[in-house]
Amino acid sequence: MADSNEMTINLVVLGRTQAGKSAAGNSLLGSSDFESRLSPSSVTTRCSLGRSCRILGIIRRNACEFSLRIRVLDTPSYPHSGLSREQVRDIVRSALAQHFGEEGLHLALLVLRADLPLCPDESHHAIQFIQELLGPTWKDFTAVLLTHADKAEEAGFSEESYLHSASSTLLSLLSSVQHKYIFLDNQKSMIKEERAIVLRKLLNFIRKNNYQVLLPKRSKE
């Protein structure tokens, strides 16, 4: 049993090749559990679960400090250079049931690159894929991570001006997930203070969903 003054949040990262899923997972964990590198083909071919150490200084309730643990499931990309859509879906679905089937999933993080425009077809396929994995309540359990935010900043965009100039496709997606989004810089190691800000945002998303969890089910053979 977990300590009564400890909270664990379960996350899965989803997205297309080279979006920065594995790097984002490492940033959240404060580690290098997941392989992350530039490659002309999809790097991740199977799901793997990473676990953080106990994190202090993030949660306080009734003057008591709670420790936090993060569990992140890294997944193969979709579309994938070496796996079919059905293979990726079944691999991810099985891993979700294996790792989060009892405790539940708090959030699926759809990873998109802030330095690339989101096209309607890409958004449609991503939403359809998440719906197949999470079911009809997917919007309540999905947030968007906008990676490579440093490149948008180098181009002169603040977060506010970026969203003001964003495509209607991206804005529609953010609206559908109740504006649960976070900007991430994948080009440098996240310092402790930056990581704390991101984790507090994720906890706020979870809190607004009343700490509900989604219980993944295995695929029917």
Q: What is the mean pLDDT of each run of 10 residues along the chain (221 residues)?
A: 78 91 91 77 83 88 85 91 90 96 96 93 94 95 95 92 95 97 79 89 96 82 45
Q: How many CB atoms lie within 10 A of CB 206?
A: 21
Residue 103 CA, chain-centre distance (Å), reads 18
Q: What is the pTM of this model?
A: 0.92
Looking at residue 209, its pLDDT comes to: 97
> Tell me, what's the pLDDT at 32?
83
Residue 1: its pLDDT value, please? 38
Q: Is 127 left (phi over 0), alpha (psi -120 to 50) or beta?
A: alpha
183, β-bridge pairs: 146
Domain ranges of the chain: 6-209
Please tell me the CATH code under which domain 6-209 is placed: 3.40.50.300
Sign of CA dihedral 8, 50, 42, 185: positive
| Residue 214, C-beta contacts closer than 8 angstroms, at least 6 positions apart | 100, 104, 105, 106, 134, 135, 137, 141
> For residue 68, what pLDDT is reported?
94
DSSP of the chain, one letter per residue?
---TTEEEEEEEEEE-TTSSHHHHHHHHHTS--S-----SS----S-EEEE---EEEEEEETTEEEEEEEEEEE---SS-SSS-HHHHHHHHHHHHHHHHTTT-B-EEEEEEETTSPPPHHHHHHHHHHHHHHH-TTGGGGEEEEEE-HHHHHHTT--HHHHHHHS-HHHHHHHHHTTT-EEE--TTSPPPHHHHHHHHHHHHHHHHHTTT--B---PPP-
